[in-house]
Amino acid sequence: MEKYVGAKLHGLRVTDAKLDYHGSITIDADFCREVGIKPLEYVEIWNKMSGARISTYVLYGDAGSRCCILNGAAARTCQPGDEVIVASSFFGEIDDIIERQPRVLVFGPENEIIDRITYVVTRRPDGSLDMAVTTELASSDYGYPRSLANGRAGL
């Protein structure tokens, strides 16, 4: 068993930080459902503004609210307006990641979805692994190597 990324919310802006709460992160349920993050699932949170890295569990917020609220001790690591990356993970075999094809939502300044990305791992005819990153955008500047573009959507 190895640890793999399961899903990711990239560039989500923190909408609130509630110190007087027992812990967790509250995220718009629609965002979680779309990428497959489950209620009470543990996630890693990486603050792009400060570099802070924490882990906590997910509470579903109101669908359509675009919320991202850090609760309890997590509230000390992020301030409203900070951009964060929220990533789930799972333990499995390589065939599990090939089947899963993890999804990523990329967000704009108002927590609107500006791109949907899929990580696609495949086996080559000789059995070795390959990978592509697909995006809904015609082009993107995420820093992925051109070798990962698979032609379905340009990178």
pLDDT at 2: 96
DSSP per residue, 106-140: EE-TTS-EEEEEEEEEEE-TTS-EEEEEEESSS--
pLDDT in tens, the chain (155 residues): 999 999 999 999 999 999 998 779 999 999 999 999 999 999 999 999 999 999 999 999 999 999 999 999 999 999 999 999 999 999 999 999 999 999 999 999 999 999 999 999 999 999 999 999 999 875 556 666 565 555 444 44
Confirm whether 140 is a catalytic residue: no
Binding-site entries for substrate:
56, 72-74
Binding-site entries:
56, 72-74
pLDDT at 64: 98
Catalytic option among 21, 57, 142, 144: 57
Report the C-alpha gap between 96 and 89 in whole angstroms.
12
Say which DSSP state 95 is in. Answer: H
Report the C-alpha gap between 94 and 78 in whole angstroms.
34
Catalytic option among 4, 24, 60, 140: 24
Query: 2-91 has which fold?
Result: Barwin-like endoglucanases (2.40.40)
93: its two tokens? 């075999």
User: Domain ranges in the chain?
Assistant: 2-91, 102-148
CB 126 within 8 Å of CB 117: no
Say which DSSP state 14 is in. Answer: P
CB 50 within 8 Å of CB 102: no
Report the C-alpha gap between 14 and 102 in whole angstroms.
23
pTM: 0.89
Say which DSSP state 32 is in. Answer: H
